Amino acid sequence: MRKTYAMETINFIGKNVRIGKNVKIWNFTYVGENTIIGDNVVIGSLAHVDYNVKIGNNVRIEGLVYIAPLTEIGNDVFIGPAAVITNDPYPPSKRLIGVKIDDGAVIGGRAVIKAGVKVGKRAVVGMGAVVTKDVPEETVVIGVPAKPVYDRKEYERKKANWENLLH
């Protein structure tokens, strides 16, 4: 007779963390002290959400994401797998500054966001991009360093064309 063992979900949730309704935090995830997580948030496996982070409602954070202290994430944001959000422009320094990601923004997988940068409302950061400057709202940026390529309207058109290929 073979025994099977259920794998335990192991997460670390720091002190004074506020977690909203209908939040799903997957396996092996770290959430640091004094973090605020809104409603309907999903945080993927192996993500690291450090201390003093604010996350809005309806946010999806994929696995292996690192979110540095002092980061502020708005509502309806998507952060792709293995993205890195930093908070120290000259590491290791004694002064930290957070990143601000406004409502409706999309951060592609493996993107890196430099400390102090603001990603505007409904902006899109392409996968693998290295963002060293603020991203204006409704703007799509790609590359290393990230540069604007088109607007969100064009992004949505391209996305719709891609999705229609399935039919």
User: Which tokens in the block code for residue 107?
Assistant: 């951060």
Asked if residue 41 has pLDDT above 60, the reply is: yes
Mean pLDDT of 2-11: 56
Domain presence at residue 157: yes
User: Which tokens in the block code for residue 150?
Assistant: 């088109």
Domain presence at residue 17: yes
Domain presence at residue 139: yes
Domain presence at residue 6: no
Domain presence at residue 32: yes
- Model confidence at 9, pLDDT cuts 50, 70, 90, reads low
Q: pLDDT by residue (tens digit) across 47-80?
A: 999 999 999 999 999 999 999 999 999 999 999 9
Contact 35, 72 (CB under 8 A): no
Rounded to whole angstroms, how far apart are CA atoms 128 and 9? 30
Amino acid letter, residue 76: D
- Three-point CA angle 138, 86, 121, nearest 5°: 15
The CATH number assigned to the domain holding 60 equals: 2.160.10.10
Contact 3, 17 (CB under 8 A): no
Contact 82, 71 (CB under 8 A): no
Q: pLDDT by residue (tens digit) across 115-159?
A: 999 999 999 999 999 999 999 999 999 999 999 999 999 999 999
What order do you get walking across the sheet with 112-113 strand by strand?
12-13, 30-31, 48-49, 66-67, 84-85, 112-113, 130-131
Contact 127, 111 (CB under 8 A): yes
Amino acid letter, residue 46: L
Domain presence at residue 3: no
Domain tally for the chain?
A: 1
pLDDT at residue 5 in the model: 41
User: Which tokens in the block code for residue 35?
Assistant: 């973090």
Rounded to whole angstroms, how far apart are CA atoms 106 and 108? 6
Domain presence at residue 122: yes
Domain presence at residue 4: no
- The count of other CB atoms within 10 Å of the CB of residue 19 is 17
Helix intervals (H) in the chain: 152-164
